Amino acid sequence: MTVLPDPLRAAFRAVPREPFLPAAQRGRAEIDAPLPIGAGQTNSQPSTVADMLSLLEVRPGHRVLDLGAGSGWTTALLAQLVGPDGSVIGLERQEQLLGPARAALAAHDPAGVAEIRRARPGVLGAPEDAPFDRILVSAGAEQLPQELLEQLADPGVLVIPVREQMLRIVREGEDVRQSVHGAYRFVPLVEDPG
């Protein structure tokens, strides 16, 4: 794991991975590997989550979209990072993951700034709640989705794996800059979550 900024270290301390895992996986929480959470999906590898959150540079008060909430772990970590003046919307397309993710989140979001919603058919992201200061995508895309760029605030940052490369997109006015931050494997982003 890379050296983490203090707020990120504090967030990982406040939000352990274990309660976000199915009972049968909890004994493996310390392993730095993705772990199955049901519906063919995974709770992401901790070092990958740390890398992505480092790139995202979340600040207190930010409005954040967590696309691919899965177990709810990243949603809860983001809730810690935005603090009581921010907000986080987690989106998940697999119905069966919503209950456990919401239950674990409720126990780790004392300020109640985060929620997990079922992704809507035909809609990528949450355009009705845009713009977002930060967007985290924890599933692998084939190309950079224009819909998500349109949901970014100005300025705004999007972190997303595209064709197994971690991209950091910074929007400032008409200027959209992209940088590449290493190779990562993810479950696929389903463009139409319906």
Ligand X SMILES: C[S@@+](CC[C@H](N)C(=O)[O-])C[C@H]1O[C@@H](n2cnc3c(N)ncnc32)[C@H](O)[C@@H]1O
Q: Which residues belong to the active site?
A: 44
48 touches ligand X by CB under 6 A: no
Of 5, 105, 16, 13, nearest to 55 (Cα)? 5
Please give the biggest Cα pair distance in the chain: 48
Among 54, 74, 80, 151, binds ligand X (CB under 6 A): 74
Q: Does 161 bind ligand X (CB under 6 A)?
A: no
What is the C-alpha R_g of the chain? 15
Among 8, 15, 43, 102, binds ligand X (CB under 6 A): 43
Does 140 engage in binding with ligand X (CB under 6 A)? no
Indicate the SS3 state at residue 10. Answer: helix
Q: How far is the CB of 84 from ligand X (least distance, A)?
A: 22
Task: Please tell me whether residue 132 binds ligand X under the rule CB under 6 A.
Answer: no
For residue 112, the SS3 value is: coil
Rounded CA-CA distance 167/172 in Å is: 16
Nearest by Cα to 137 from 177, 80, 193, 96: 193
190 near ligand X (CB under 6 A): yes
Q: Does 91 bind ligand X (CB under 6 A)?
A: yes
- State the residues that interact with ligand X by CB under 6 A: 41-44, 67-71, 73-74, 91-94, 97, 119, 124, 138-139, 186-187, 189-190, 193
